[in-house]
Chain A
Amino acid sequence: MIIRTRDFGEVEMSETEIFHFSQPLFGFEEYTDYVILHDDEIGENIVWLQSVQEQGLCFILIDPSGMTPMFAPELPIGSEKLLGEGDCLCWVVAVVPKNFKDTSVNLKSPVFINTESHLAAQIMLESDYPVRYFFLKEGANQC
């Protein structure tokens, strides 16, 4: 099927590549179906979460692994009802401003994607992680 995307024009995707959010991104409850898009030049650590229903709706997700040792996300009890059986990938939603060094990510509410069940959810973690984590600046402070 053809998916109209915000940043890549029309893209041919298989229906099996669609992830259904049993708990959508907070504030965007009406948009439940997304695909993940990559750009070869950008690499695998940064992806586009593109709404299937609305061309203009798209989020940038970053792989949080290695970002900070303090981040060890644990799914709250009951999350398997949202995500189904199997392992999940954890991504964090990013805000990338004009000055990219001010990029932040939301460590408090990551997006979990189950590649087996094709279910996904944005889940608020119980641990006290920051909603705006400026990982490039935090990293610089540690040097």
Chain B
Amino acid sequence: MLVVSRKADESIIIEPEQGELIEIKLLSIDNQVRVGISAPKGCKIWRKELYTTVEYNRNAAEKISVGNLRSLSSQLTTENNND
């Protein structure tokens, strides 16, 4: 990981091999840092803790077999009966 020190109002430019530049600007620094990001249209920006859910949702949207769901459902029923 590249580590750089920046003060408030200073920026970092990310130049992808293709496409437009991405600018990350530190707007203010108190106990939280305010970050401004300028990125090309179509470039999605996520808080990382949210992005884990984005990835999870993409997996969850994949086709499943109803047979698997039946097995899962009977397993859940068994577990509840054991309680």
Interface residues of A (CB under 8 A from B): 6-7, 25-28, 39, 41-43, 45-46, 57-60, 62, 66, 93-98, 100-101, 103, 106, 108-109, 122, 124, 131-132, 136, 139
Number of interface residues of B (CB under 8 A): 30
> Could you say which of B53, B69, B75, B80 contacts A60, with CB atoms under 8 Å apart?
B69
> Could you say which of B52, B55, B57, B64 contacts A25, with CB atoms under 8 Å apart?
B57
Contact B69 A46 (CB under 8 A): yes
* CB within 8 Å for A45 and B71 given contacts A93-B60, A106-B56: no
Contact A66 B68 (CB under 8 A): no
User: In the complex the two chains form, what is the Cα distance from A47 to B62 in whole Å?
Assistant: 15
Interface residues of B (CB under 8 A from A): 46, 49-50, 52-66, 68-73, 75-77, 79-80, 83
